[in-house]
Amino acid sequence: MATGVNKVILIGNLGRDPEIQRLENGVKKASFSLATTEVYRNKEGEKTQHTEWHNIVLWRGLAEVAENYLKKGNTIYLEGRIRRREWEDKEGQKRFTTDIMGDSMTMLGSPRREGVTEEPVSETAKDENGIPPVPQPEDDLPF
């Protein structure tokens, strides 16, 4: 039985080109910032917008897709989970960072790289054995 749900769904624009790291074991890691913007009316009825910035981390196949296709400004749909990291800065102070660990991603809109004419890329995360997660059956309820 599951003890909780940690699920994040974001649609936003990359704030910078992905930073790619290749670890000693050959695994790739991509990290970048993603901006999500909500538009609403404030108490005075004026249209207001708020942008939230998210730290995104992608591994393996998704990192490969990010390296080859993503650039600053691209719009993506991302599903993942929240992960909080604790670290110590140069002065010895404890710091905390919240990352979104991407599990699946779909590029939205047209590719912005020169000479690229492919359809948007979709990639699903795989486990350490290269096996994608098992899809859950949908209910057949009409609502």
**H-type alpha helices, the chain:** 60-69
Contact 114, 81 (CB under 8 A): no
Length of the chain: 143
What is the rounded (10 degree) CA torsion for 109, 110, 112, 115?
160
Contact 10, 100 (CB under 8 A): yes
How is residue 41 written in tokens?
Answer: 């009316």
Does pTM surpass 0.95?
no
DSSP single-letter state for residue 128:
T
Per-residue pLDDT of the chain (143 residues; tens, 9 = 90+): 668 999 999 999 999 999 999 998 989 999 999 999 999 999 999 999 999 999 999 999 999 999 999 999 999 999 999 999 998 999 999 999 999 999 999 999 765 554 444 444 455 555 555 555 555 555 555 54
Contact 15, 36 (CB under 8 A): no
CA atoms within 13 A of residue 117's CA, in its CB half-sphere: 1
Q: Report the chain's C-alpha Rg in angstroms.
A: 18
List of residues 6+ apart from 38 with CB closer than 8 A: 49, 50, 52
Contact 131, 61 (CB under 8 A): no
Task: Tell me the domains of the chain and their CATH numbers.
Answer: 8-120 (2.40.50.140)
